Structure 1
Amino acid sequence: MYEPNVVGDWQEYEDEHAGLRVRVHGLEKAEPPRGRDDAAEGLIYFRFRVTIENRAAEHFGIHLEDGQIDIRVGSDGESAFLDWRNSQFIEGFDVYPLRRATAVLFAAAAEDGLSQVDIQTQLKVDDEWTDRYLWSGGIGLHEPVVGVCARADSAMESIAAQVTSFLESEAGPGAS
């Protein structure tokens, strides 16, 4: 069964894009830097980031534009307005080993739908489309709103948890 990522989780790519990983994070209410778009009248603006990290030995050419991101809000999954004029996309950027590239995106939606936000991305890497991945979260809640299928390891995002996971994987099965 496919399970969405929680906002803040890293999603690892496999096969020809092994070593590349992506995450949606920093979901919060925020006004856009260049002013509000007239199409967003009566809506609440929010901001989020999409970060791509390269842990492979070679570089990847990354492309992430407005047509590669879909934002749905509320329990009915209504489309949010993506403000492409205020957003900073990643267009044809080479991400070298041990480097990151981050897109900062602004969107707007009705305030009552912000407690449940789903963000789906599909990167274009070296002129090839990658798999689509979904992140779920919310704004204005003490705990993120996530569906029943939420990943159980989402709380394990601290540096200590990452180090522990790395050491366990390096030790191999059966090591104590």
Structure 2
Amino acid sequence: MYEPNVVGDWQEYDEEHAGLRVRVHGLEKAEPPRGRDDAAEGLTYVRFRVTVENRTTAYFGIHLEDGQLDVRVGADGESAFLDWRNSQFIEGFDVYPLRRVTAVLYAAADEAGLGRVDVQVQLKVDDEWTHRYLWSGGIDLRQPSVGAGARPDGSGDSLAAQVASFLREETETGPGSTG
């Protein structure tokens, strides 16, 4: 089963781009530096970074712009508004060995959906498209979010929470239990 990266994790490339790695990190609520776009009226802005690191002995030409990113929010994966005017993309930058390059990006979405944010990235390296990778994270909204089928007692709806809940129930109702 394919599992997404967690926001902050590095993703290593294979084969022709071996030694190159990328990550989405720094996901937080933040206002854009050049003011809000009119299309984002009533939405909450978030900022995140995409960093590409070269761990090889050769350089790579990196390109990352708005068409190579997809930001989705909430349990239903609704599209977020990517503010290209405020975002700082990577446009044809040569990343030399043991160096990094970072794009700072701004997106806006309904605040209720920011508990679950998915960012999909597809780099263009030396005029070749790389594999798409997905990062998942969220913004703490100080309110527990309850997804479809989740129990409102805070157990959550992630796979890890479901497994933990199942094991807890099995232990309580298993052989030799009084409940």
TM range (shorter): 0.7 to 0.9
Q: Separation in 2 of the partners of 1:147 and 1:123? A: 28
Instruction: Output the TM-score relative to the length of structure 2.
Output: 0.80
What's the CA shift for 1:141?
5.4
Matched with 2:8 is: 8
- Contact kept, 8 Å, 1:54 with 1:96, in 2: the verdict is yes
Instruction: Output the TM-score relative to the length of structure 1.
Output: 0.81
Q: Separation in 1 of the partners of 2:30 and 2:157? A: 22
Question: Which consecutive aligned stretches of 4+ in structure 1 deviate over 6 angstroms post-superposition?
Answer: none
Q: Separation in 2 of the partners of 1:95 and 1:4? A: 25
Q: Separation in 2 of the partners of 1:116 and 1:105? A: 17
Q: Separation in 2 of the partners of 1:51 and 1:146? A: 29
Matched with 2:138 is: 138
Matched with 1:86 is: 86
What's the CA shift for 1:148?
2.2
Instruction: For CA contacts below 8 A with separation 6 or more, give which structure has more relative contact order.
Output: 1
Q: Which runs of 5+ in 2 are unaligned?
A: 145-155, 161-179
Counterpart of 2:121, as a letter, is T
Q: Please identify the structure whose Cα radius of gyration is greater.
A: 2
Q: Which runs of 5+ in 1 are unaligned?
A: 150-176
Q: Does 1:70 align with 2:70?
A: yes
Matched with 1:153 is: none
Residues 83-141 of structure 1 deviation map (CA, whole Å, 9 limit, x = unaligned) = 00000000000000000000000000000000000000000000000000000000015
Q: Separation in 1 of the partners of 2:82 and 2:158? A: 23
Q: Separation in 1 of the partners of 2:20 and 2:110? A: 34
Provide the alpha-carbon RMSD of the alignment.
Answer: 1.9
Counterpart of 1:39, as a letter, is A
Counterpart of 2:159, as a letter, is V
Residues 36-94 of structure 1 deviation map (CA, whole Å, 9 limit, x = unaligned) = 00000000000000000000110000000000000000000000000000000000000
What's the CA shift for 1:146?
8.6
- Contact kept, 8 Å, 1:137 with 1:146, in 2: the verdict is no
Counterpart of 1:32, as a letter, is P
